[in-house]
Amino acid sequence: MKLFVFRLGHRPERDKRISTHVFLAARAFLCSSGFYSGSKDKELEESIKKVVKNWGGDFKIKYEGNWKKFIKNFPGIKIHLTMYGIPFQEKINEIRKNKENKLIIVGGEKVPGEVYEMADYNIAVTNQPHSEVSALAVFLHEFWQGKELKKDFKGKLKIIPQEKGKKITNNNC
């Protein structure tokens, strides 16, 4: 069973950093790949590839211009994260038990109404406005029940946790 993240309607000028954070959170919290629609953004893709190259894992990012077709044809469960949805704590066990692949859809400012219809679940991480980045991370953390914290990414770079200061090992040196 794999998790994928789909970032709807990326706008390079406005969303570059938020979309970058969405995909980095997706990677750190054990999604296999990220997809995005909106405008193609080489800089976004390169920044994610660079993190994967240095920090490990095999997270991939891919542009999908036709969001409607992509969501429709996704073979698995479609979960749309939205503040308007059902609180995740009411659905997370049911979602976790289902062993199909899962596409987690995160929107930008304006999500087309059809997305709510196409999703198998519209899920809220609190019904308050905050961020697609925080909603995604808390959802994934609850989905994995903390198992993601034990993942060894076997990266070129690795942090040795410190009470004070920074310590990184570089396995290529």
The contact set with a copy of itself (CB under 8 A) reads: 14-15, 17-18, 21, 24-25, 27-29, 51, 55, 82-87, 89, 113, 116-117, 119, 122, 124, 126-131, 133-138, 141, 146, 148-149, 151, 153, 158-159, 161-168
Shortest CB 161 distance to a copy of itself, Å: 5
Backbone angles phi, psi at 37, to 5 degrees: -115, -175
Task: Supply the minimum distance, in Å, between the C-beta of residue 79 and a copy of itself.
Answer: 12
Q: Which is nearer to a copy of itself, 43 or 163 (CB)?
A: 163
Q: Under a CB-based contact definition with an 8 Å cutoff, are residues 56 and 28 in contact?
A: no
Minimum CB separation of residue 91 from a copy of itself in Å reads: 10
Phi and psi of 82, rounded to 5°? Answer: -150, 140
Residue with Cβ nearer a copy of itself (65 or 169)? 169
Q: What is the largest CA-CA distance in the chain?
A: 51
Residues 6+ apart with CB under 8 A from 172: 156
Please identify, using beta-carbon distances, which residue of 14 and 72 lies nearer to a copy of itself: 14
Least distance (Å) from a copy of itself to the CB of residue 9? Answer: 14
Give the three-class secondary structure for 43.
helix
What's the DSSP call for residue 111?
A: -
CA separation, residue 89 to residues 21, 118, 170 (Å)? 24, 21, 39
Which C-beta is closer to a copy of itself: that of 26 or that of 102?
Answer: 26
